[in-house]
Each structure stands twice: as structure tokens, then as C-alpha cells.
Amino acid sequence: MPHRDRPHRDRPHRPRDRPPDSHRPEPGPVPDPAARLAALTRRLDEACRRAGRPLGSVTLVAVSKYRSRDAVAAALDAGQRDFAESRVQEARAKWPQLRARHPGVRLHLVGPLQTNKATAAVTGFDTLHSVDRPSLAAALAAAMARTGRRPDCFVQVNTGDEPQKSGVPLDGADAFLKECRDVHGLPVVGLMCLPPAGRDPRPHFRLLRSLAAAHGLAGLSMGMSDDFEAAVAEGATVIRVGRALFGPRPRRAGGPPGTR
């Protein structure tokens, strides 16, 4: 294929790590999640090996936003247990029945979170990846106190200082982390980032890692379908993968909020 022979630098950075089959639309409504999960796990293991990290040191979170219940059920049947949704309402509609059938499921919330959804987020999810501002931290702390539920929290950092993107600005990250832990007592386990699209994500991953180390945080939620191997090389402990597992993202009016 001429595509393959193209010199490396002619290609944009991101698509390089994309599995070859994600360029094409899926023939059926549900791609074969068991085969995709096996292939993804092989790539993840290989990335760990290359990075000199133990296999199993990275949690694969399957991002199931906008996916049908059938697609999710197939991934569950294939053994996947960590899933992420980007909207509280969608998770509420989709997950109670699935959870009842698969008690080991851990549900993650990625994407922007409104303060008025704090209680639903705290009761419906096991891990929150987008804690990014004082009003939200306060609302989550109150919701945790009220419900007794304490999901793990990742503080999202806007490493590219992109005005349209969620995440605490870089120059406010130290103060915000201190506030989350010392004022609100949130169970902060790590940091999360979404690097700017179309650029080398590695400097952003490195920045996130050094910021986490400076705060004594072990968790690093970074890496998606196109860049998770680079993220693993830079120390990711959680990768959030949608398209590489479920196929091309379904079209939605307005596009997914808070993502590229």
C-alpha cells in the first residue's frame, strides 16, 4: 500500500499509533469486541514490556460513551470490567442493569462535570477523572459527606492551557490540588490530561507525570486510542480507550463534549 511507504514525517503525529482497522467504518453494528480487546491487550502488554514496566501495571478503561448496550455487553462478556462514560444521564440510563449482571464492574466518569450533578456522579461512579475547579471540588465534598460514597478522584490538568478545554490551568494546579486535599479532603489519587489534538502528546504526559510526582500522587490517567502506547512509556497508570476497542465513534449532533 502506498500509504505504508510514505515517509514518517509526512504523516500527522496522531494517526500513527492507530490500529489499521480503525480507519474504516465497521461492517456490522457491533464490532467483534473480544477480538479487539485481545488485540488491544496485546498492544498494551507490548508497550509495558518496551517501557520495562510490569504487565498489568496499567488499567485499561473502555470508554463506552455513545455505545449501545449490546456493544458494552459484548465487551463485558469478553472480560472487560473498567468502563467510562462522559455523561451522568447516559450512564444512569445504561448501567444499572449491566452492573447488576456484572458485579465486578468499575465505572469511571470522564468529561466535564457540572456541580449540580455532583451527587449523581458520586453515587453512580467509582472513579471521577475530571475534577478541575473549586466549585466542583466543594460540591463533590458535600456530596461525599451526604452519601458516604468516596469515589477515587483524578484532578484534570489543562496541560496545553487551551482556552476551550476543561482542566485546571497549569499555573493554578498546585493551589487547586492543595485545596482539594487540605480544604475538601477529597480522595485524590492522581492527575488526568487530554493533550492538544494533532501535536506530540509526550511533553504533556511528561509534564503531568512530574506534576503528580511533585504532589506525591501515584495515579496518571493519560493516553487514548491514538496515543496510549506513548502514555504507557511515560508512566500512565490508567489509559482511556474508546475507538480502538469499539470502532469509530458514532456520530452525534454537536460532537462529544470536552473532547477533540
Ligand X SMILES: *Cc1c(COP(=O)(O)O)cnc(C)c1O
Residue ranges binding ligand X (CB under 6 A): 63, 65, 86, 110-111, 194, 224-225, 240-244, 249, 256, 259
Q: Phi-psi bin for 147: left (phi > 0), alpha (psi -120 to 50), beta?
A: alpha
- Min dist CB 227 to ligand X, Å, is 9
At 14 the three-state DSSP class reads helix
Output 9 or 24, the one with its CB closest to ligand X.
24
Question: Helices (H) and strands (E) in the chain — how many of each?
Answer: 10, 9
- Min dist CB 100 to ligand X, Å, is 25
- Min dist CB 92 to ligand X, Å, is 18
Residue 97 Cα distances to 93, 103, 109, 247, angstroms: 9, 10, 18, 23
Output 136 or 224, the one with its CB closest to ligand X.
224
The DSSP 8-state label assigned to residue 140 in this structure reads H
Output 63 or 217, the one with its CB closest to ligand X.
63
Q: Which residue is nearest to ligand X (CB)?
A: 242
Output 109 or 137, the one with its CB closest to ligand X.
109
- Min dist CB 130 to ligand X, Å, is 7
At 236 the three-state DSSP class reads coil
Amino acid at 153: C
- Min dist CB 241 to ligand X, Å, is 5
Output 89 or 147, the one with its CB closest to ligand X.
89
Range list of β-strands (E), the chain:
59-63, 82-85, 106-109, 127-131, 152-158, 168-169, 188-192, 219-221, 238-241
Query: Rounded CA gap, 72 and 64, in Å?
Result: 7
Cβ atoms of residues 242 and 37 within 8 Å: no
Output 16 or 178, the one with its CB closest to ligand X.
16
- Min dist CB 196 to ligand X, Å, is 13
